[in-house]
Amino acid sequence: MPNTSFKELLAPWFDAAPDIKISGLKLDNRQIVHGDVFVAVQGHSLDARRYIPDAIAAGAVAIIADEGDTSGQFGVSLHADVPVVAFPHLKSTLSDIAARFYQAPSLAMTTIGITGTNGKTTVSQLIAQWIDLLGGKAAVMGTTGNGFLSSLEAAPNTTGSALDIQQQFAQFKGQGATHVAMEVSSHGLVQDRVKAVSFDAAIFTNLSRDHLDYHGTMEAYAEAKLRLFTHYGSPVPVINVDDPIGADWVRNMPEAVAVSMSEHTVSAHQGKKLWLTDVTYATSGVTIAFSSSWGEGEFTAPLVGEFNVMNLLLSLATLLGLGYDKATLLDVAPQLQAVIGRMEVFHHADKPMLVVDYAHTPDALEKALHALRRHCDGKLWCLFGCGGDRDTGKRPMMAEIAERLADVAILTDDNPRSEPPESIVADMLKGMASPEKAVILHDRAEACRYAFENASEDDVILVAGKGHEDYQVLATGTVHYSDRETVRDLLEVKG
């Protein structure tokens, strides 16, 4: 943990802070230890300045207090002999403050930011795997946790707070990481949480309906994602131009690497590019042939589904853009592995194939079902739910997709939170032409068991929505539940 002075920390913004030794920065007064600075931010629902006395009692030696983004002014006062610096525009400056405290750790590593609605986790972990296979030491930050792939620690948000991010980078630096592949959420971009991160490469996967309860419109959602490319000056921007938003963005990004499933889509792009020339799908994975600004190539990887082809192409294009050797990358590609809970296949001979996937948006569910149809000789089953206290508009959309693309649709619970599960399912049923044909089983384990016991060995069952998650959020609280564990248990009992 760096030891610096309060005066030195705030010098670029305010030169009248007292010269006090400090040992840490904390946003939560309950985590304060002696020597810390308490950073009291005004949030949407909570003004942390009310906890300044508690932070001081816990040992805070200085306070940075949010003065808002309008008429606030710098100033310093004392509270129980502890200096309190009034700091305007604190939220948008916090990333810079944290980076200064931790000595800009992202500069010491190659940092890759991935944004988009779907695919962020898979791309980040594929890149990390590839780097590790070639002798590097890559850390990841995102939905499934932060850390090295062998030892991920759960994280509450895809993109942590501005302080958490810089502290995490400092920890990775101390652990000898050479690279960090970081999922960057739209919330994190809009709230300036990654403002002081130095990105060496930035990737756009795709954009589809999600988080409209926060952003309001798709236009605002897209604008939030675009910030990763317009505000950070990444030298290697990589764009999926099969996505209409990506195709639009790349017209103003001649420096971008355009990635597509077809040559036609990238033909007009003046910069570097990579495109698919052929693909073979098998239950064991995919074989991909491509052409690019770095030449042609072919490789096999044990991932299933068309959208994983794009995830692999984006990952490959990024590493080529960062200077990795093409032949070396292709040599180790067969050693890549599927990401837990992302089109993760569970299969025993003479039993239906079960696939656990995190798909919880209309676009992700549609892509997952299209992808699995290629691997399915029998019926395609779709088991899914929709979250409570979240965007209600996507509920009928997802049910319509399941009814149209699967042979059997099973509606179940997926983090109902404070909403009655029956109300959520009622919203879903509104999207179906024949709602009476849907199977409704609120208990997810029971729903999985029903599908498994009624499916044939040629069938494929998509268990969608929770992926890597090992919990279910109910009105009464959070309980342990894992689709992956349920599916494994079913195969062991019946295997």
Instruction: Kindly give the confidence (pLDDT) of every residue in the chain, 495 residues in length, as a single tens digit, with 9 standing for 90 and above.
Output: 577 899 999 999 999 999 999 999 999 999 999 999 999 999 878 999 999 999 999 999 999 999 988 777 899 999 999 999 999 999 999 999 999 999 999 999 999 999 998 889 999 999 999 999 999 999 999 988 999 999 899 887 767 899 999 999 999 999 999 999 999 988 888 889 999 999 999 999 998 755 445 545 777 788 888 989 988 889 999 999 999 999 999 999 999 999 999 999 999 999 999 999 999 988 778 999 999 999 999 999 999 888 899 999 999 999 999 999 999 999 999 999 988 898 999 988 899 999 999 999 898 899 999 999 988 899 999 999 999 999 899 999 999 999 999 999 999 999 999 999 999 999 999 999 999 999 999 999 999 999 999 999 999 999 999 999 999 999 999 999 999 999 999 998 643
d(CA 137, CA 355) in angstroms, rounded, equals 30
Homologous superfamily of domain range 104-335:
Mur-like, catalytic domain (3.40.1190.10)
Q: State residue 495's pLDDT score.
A: 39
Residue with token string 């960062």: 322
HSE (CB half, 13 Å, CA atoms) of 449?
Answer: 9
Q: State residue 45's pLDDT score.
A: 82
Residues belonging to the binding site are: 27, 116-122, 157-159, 185, 191, 193, 390, 414-417, 465, 469
Residues belonging to the binding site for ATP are: 116-122
Partners of residue 77 on adjacent β-strands: 84
Q: State residue 210's pLDDT score.
A: 52
Q: State residue 287's pLDDT score.
A: 96
Sign of CA dihedral 156, 157, 161, 167: positive
The CATH architecture of the domain made up of 344-494 is Alpha-Beta Complex (3.90)
d(CA 73, CA 32) in angstroms, rounded, equals 26
Q: State residue 89's pLDDT score.
A: 93
- CA 249, 252, 256, 262: dihedral to nearest 10 degrees? 60
d(CA 495, CA 491) in angstroms, rounded, equals 5
Q: State residue 211's pLDDT score.
A: 46
Entry pTM: 0.84
Query: The tokens of 18 are what?
Result: 């007292």
Q: How many helices (H) and strands (E) does the chain have?
A: 17, 25
Query: The tokens of 417 are what?
Result: 């939170």
Residue spans per domain, the chain:
4-100, 104-335, 344-494
Residues belonging to the binding site for meso-2,6-diaminopimelate are: 390, 414-417, 465, 469
For helices 306-321 and 120-133, give the axis angle rounded to 10 degrees.
Answer: 50
- Compute the 3-state secondary structure of the chain and give helix, strand, coil in percent, each to the nearest 5: 35, 25, 40
* Nearest Cα to Cα of residue 240 among 259, 267, 221: 259
Q: State residue 209's pLDDT score.
A: 52
4-100: CATH, from 3.40.50.10900, 3.40.50.720, 3.40.30.10, 3.40.1390.10: 3.40.1390.10
- CA 88, 94, 98, 99: dihedral to nearest 10 degrees? -110
